[in-house]
C-alpha cells in the first residue's frame, strides 16, 4: 500500500512540475520565471496552465556557435585532393 502512495506522489509531482521540465527541455529564456509561477501559483490550476502555455510558447535562448580557428566541426570530412602529376 505504501508503494502505491509513493507512486501517486511521484506521478503527481511529475505532472505538477511538467511546465518547468518542458521549459528546461526547450531551453526557454524564461525558465526561472516559469518555475516561480509554477511553484507559487501552480496549485491554482490556472497558474499551472499559464506556466505550461508560457513554457510551450516561450522564446528559446539563442545559441552561440563555438568558433575556434583551425578546429573543424565534428563529422567534417575534407574533400579529396585531385591527384598530382609526377614531374
pLDDT given for residue 50 in this prediction: 95
Q: pLDDT band at residue 23, thresholds of 50, 70 and 90?
A: very high
Higher pLDDT, 6 or 63: 6
Residue pLDDT, tens place only, 45-82: 999 999 999 999 988 877 766 666 666 666 666 777 77
Place of cell 568558433: 67
- Would you say the C-alpha torsion 38, 17, 19, 35 has a positive or negative sign? positive
How large is the angle between the packed helices 18-26 and 31-41, nearest 10 degrees?
A: 180
pLDDT given for residue 83 in this prediction: 76
Give yes or no for residue 87 having a pLDDT over 70.
Answer: no
Report the Cα–Cα distance between both ends of the chain, in Å, rounded. Answer: 86
Secondary structure string (H, E, C) spanning 33-54:
HHHHHHHHHHHHCHHHHHHHHH
State the pTM of this model: 0.67
Amino acid at each position: 500500500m505504501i508503494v502505491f502512495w509513493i507512486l501517486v506522489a511521484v506521478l503527481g509531482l511529475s505532472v505538477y512540475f511538467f511546465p518547468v521540465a518542458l521549459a528546461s527541455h526547450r531551453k526557454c529564456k524564461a525558465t526561472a520565471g516559469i518555475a516561480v509561477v509554477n511553484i507559487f501559483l501552480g496549485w491554482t490550476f490556472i497558474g499551472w496552465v499559464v506556466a505550461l502555455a508560457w513554457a510551450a510558447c516561450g522564446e528559446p535562448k539563442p545559441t552561440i556557435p563555438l568558433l575556434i580557428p583551425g578546429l573543424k566541426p565534428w563529422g567534417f570530412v575534407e574533400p579529396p585532393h585531385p591527384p598530382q602529376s609526377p614531374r
